[in-house]
Structure formats: C-alpha cells, structure tokens
Structure 1
Amino acid sequence: MFIKFLAFLTLATIMNNEFTQAIDKAAREAVDYWHNYYRTELAAGRVKNYNGKLMPKAKDMKKMKFSMELEKSAQAWADKCTYSHSDPGGNYGESFFATTKYENDSYAIQRSITAWWG
C-alpha cells in the first residue's frame, strides 16, 4: 500500500494553473526512478532522520512499480482542483506540492519527490 501511496502522491503534484493533463512516459519513468532511488538509499541505511542520525537498513525494501490505475485515479482527483484528500483513512492518499511551472513534468516530479524525501 505504501508504494501505491507514493505513486499517487507524485501524480497529484502534476497540476498546471491553466489545465491538467496526464503525464507522459518519461514522467512515469521519473516517478519510478526517483522513488526507487530514495528507497534504495533508505534500504542501504544512508538516509538520516530529523535528528541527523542514520535510519536503520531495510530488511525487505520492495521496488516501486508505476500504476496506471493509480494514475487515472490521481488525475481524476486532480481535475477537480480540490485542496483536500480524496479518501482520508483509505489505502492511499495525496501530499501536496506547490511550485512554479517547470520545463517538463519529469523535472517537476524529481523536484517534488526530492522535496518529500528531503
């Protein structure tokens, strides 16, 4: 469920002031790449907590795989432009990330995931 949450989290960040649209293949690959990059760092014990101490290594960190089903759900929710969570207490949800418009969705995804892990 955590993996699905991460995909939904990222997809909910791709919104444009003029209109919303689904992301392209490169952006989907960026979702997988950046989440798995940070998850690999965490699994290896190279991520610090808020006290500056290294988090413990993961015993069985799963690799994230992009979900087209969650993309559709995230896009439907983003199209409503509602500043709230779609299903509080559900199996997945959203985190909000606001920024200026970037040149492409892949870079926006990198920035949002990096900020979330930050």
Structure 2
Amino acid sequence: MEATRIRSGSGLRASNSPGRGSKGRVKKIHPSLSRPAEALEELAAVRSVTWLNSGRTVQFKIKPLSPGVTGVSLYDGPSSQVTVSLPLFPATGWIDDQRARLEKVRRAFTS
C-alpha cells in the first residue's frame, strides 16, 4: 500500500490590525486542516497515511489491513526506537463521521 505523508501546519494566524475584516481581525483556516481531509481521502481509497515522518519526532501511521480492520502504529525512532501497533475495528462509516467532525472544526475556525 502507498503511504501519504502529512506534515503539521504552522498554526492559526490572526491579526488585530484595524480595517482588516470584522472587528479588526483576520481569520485564516488552520493550515493543517486540509491535511486531515486529504488523509481521510487516502484512507477511504484503502491507502495508508503517515504523520510526523520527519525523523525528529514520533511517527504515527494508519494503515488499512483488511476490510473492517485498520492498523494504527506509533514509532518512537529518535528516542527509544520502540513501535507500538494495534489493530482497530472501526464502525462502518467512521470515515464519513470523521469528515463531518472535521467540517465542524473548519466552521468554528472560519466563523
């Protein structure tokens, strides 16, 4: 299976400069909010995704193993070199549920 690497974003930025949007604030969508959406698309297409694969932090991987079974692994390469892997049995429709939750977060950041 092909893995998609997801990098963390730089965070939400806001400005209190006058004349910029309502009440002097500019809000941007958190840059890392598009990446979870991409990851959900990859998982829906039965491909694995990896977060934090920089070599400096713990690596997090989600990998479809078989229909109805998803593997989740954490690898602490920089420090202990220990890997913890667990099979999960998510409910049918879990990806759509996560998409809906992500949409709620997006609306909260842009309102």
TM-score by length of 2: 0.31
Point out which structure has higher relative CO (alpha carbons under 8 A, 6+ apart).
1
TM-score by length of 1: 0.30
Higher helix share: 1
Question: Bigger radius of gyration, 1 or 2?
Answer: 2
Higher strand share: 2
